Structure 1
């Protein structure tokens, strides 16, 4: 194994660790803002959009690569999916427990595999199919807890978030278009929705600095690190670091707000996390075998 490969792997490990950690603070920061739902959606989204637009301008004037503001019809469609996911995700935070949201959104890669099978005729591997079935059991457990506690709407919004993100991922995979800035610039859509439904009294946020910090720093940092990670790591390896939000966000919320997940949520979340970890390990082993076979003998 070359020194260059090891250095790149460490770089990818560091980037994706930072990205996963930054993403895990999203929900706690939103809740610390203590605001009305549509005000939070509008304020957090317009802040992220401003940062994304500034990055695009900087890349256009100072970078070698000059990304388009909108990557054609595919980029616009993916942006709409990302925008919808922001609205449903933040709405879910206001309608169900944090653990429910992040555990259900963890179903995103399995939705993506299912859409790839239906739309792109990419048949999932047996490992993927088994993982999907196990994760359905986990999500069903969490949703059953939502039924009992009256949080069904929030759980369904979290599931819609996972589906919208999977649609955006599928579009990017099918078109192979560069979409690194799309999730940031797409926040103009949820910002418009938030401003539309916001009360006539303007922003109703008691601690806006938390929301500004989230939208201007943590979200762009998370998206950039996690989008850059695949340059140095395999897809399954990067997917492992998305689990940091799934695992850590409920911990931060428990520490700050003393919100204890229900037994159904904990059981379903444990099933989801273990299924994803097991799937990622299997995929990493498969990629190692492919790399080994691709290396010419005698080198």
Structure 2
């Protein structure tokens, strides 16, 4: 049976989608503050405990919402859920590796190519049109990030740059996978990504000789990040993805880049440079302009796998 959707309800769904995805970016932006509060744990240990708490949190949320195990939903949804989960792990691990092997400025700039990748993938895989206003907003956003990193310097390693591009591609694939599987419940794919991440981080800790046990404070902060910074953020992002094109999803999530420096300045007194403030302002204009520009056209129907 075909359901008819009125223009007003479609517009309302779009507004809620923008709100949810922007809120997800706000939650993601707290990662810098959380890591600044960590005393001794290294990145892979933080990611391990963050993934454990995120997976447990999502398991409870999925059980409460659907009344069934997420594993049953994963089996029913099939390949789209697995692709989304694996691509998100690639985004996490590639991002960590890139920051360890190249300058933060270079890594952040390459992360910002995700909207371009998502737009191209959405067009190829989903036949989803990209508005001219969105393309302009993406260009403005990239220009803003370029301003933010223009006064920073550091060595640029090829492997780190490739990992940053791989991270951006992983997040773009995750974005498009959510759109591809929107007729089903995609939250289990995020739960699945947590399981994949636990396996990956355990393997890294094992082969690199890192201890699994960490301090109580570091563990509490890491697990808190898994619930609030990652888990809740990804739930909001997943819900918002149902009513937004892939290019808008990736662009709105760039709020993370704008707000990240703000939180550490507000709570820890870590100041931002003039370039960061100017670039952040340009980025905010791009996000707001894209969200408010024109009338949104309903995307074409997508056939579930």
TM-score by length of 1: 0.72
C-alpha distance in 2 between matches for 1:193 and 1:240: 28
Partner of 1:187, secondary structure, is helix
Who is 2:291 aligned against? 280
Work out whether 1:61 is the aligned partner of 2:67. yes
Q: 1:255 aligns with which of 266, 272, 275?
A: 266
Work out whether 1:25 is the aligned partner of 2:30. yes
Who is 1:166 aligned against? 172
What does the per-residue CA deviation read over 1:245-266, in whole Å, with 9 as the maximum and x for residues that have no partner?
3332211123345444455555
Q: 1:220 aligns with which of 231, 234, 237?
A: 231
Gaps of 5+ in 1: 292-299
RMSD after superposition:
4.2
Who is 1:182 aligned against? 189
Who is 1:41 aligned against? 47
Shift in alpha-carbon separation, 1:156–1:137, aligned structure 2, 3 A: farther
Partner of 1:124, secondary structure, is coil
C-alpha distance in 1 between matches for 2:234 and 2:106: 22
TM-score by length of 2: 0.70
Q: Deviation of residue 196 (structure 1)?
A: 1.2
C-alpha distance in 1 between matches for 2:96 and 2:58: 19
Shift in alpha-carbon separation, 1:268–1:119, aligned structure 2, 3 A: farther
C-alpha distance in 1 between matches for 2:278 and 2:102: 17
- Is the Cα contact below 8 Å between 1:33 and 1:209 reproduced in 2? no
C-alpha distance in 2 between matches for 1:241 and 1:135: 10
Partner of 1:202, secondary structure, is coil
Partner of 1:38, secondary structure, is helix
Work out whether 1:201 is the aligned partner of 2:211. yes
Matching of residues 1-12 of structure 1 within 5 Å:
none
Which has the larger displacement, 25-34 or 2-11? 2-11
For these two proteins, the number of residue pairs brought into alignment is 283
Shift in alpha-carbon separation, 1:97–1:207, aligned structure 2, 3 A: farther
Work out whether 1:108 is the aligned partner of 2:114. yes
Q: Deviation of residue 72 (structure 1)?
A: 1.1
C-alpha distance in 2 between matches for 1:259 and 1:155: 26
Q: Deviation of residue 90 (structure 1)?
A: 4.1
Shift in alpha-carbon separation, 1:5–1:278, aligned structure 2, 3 A: closer
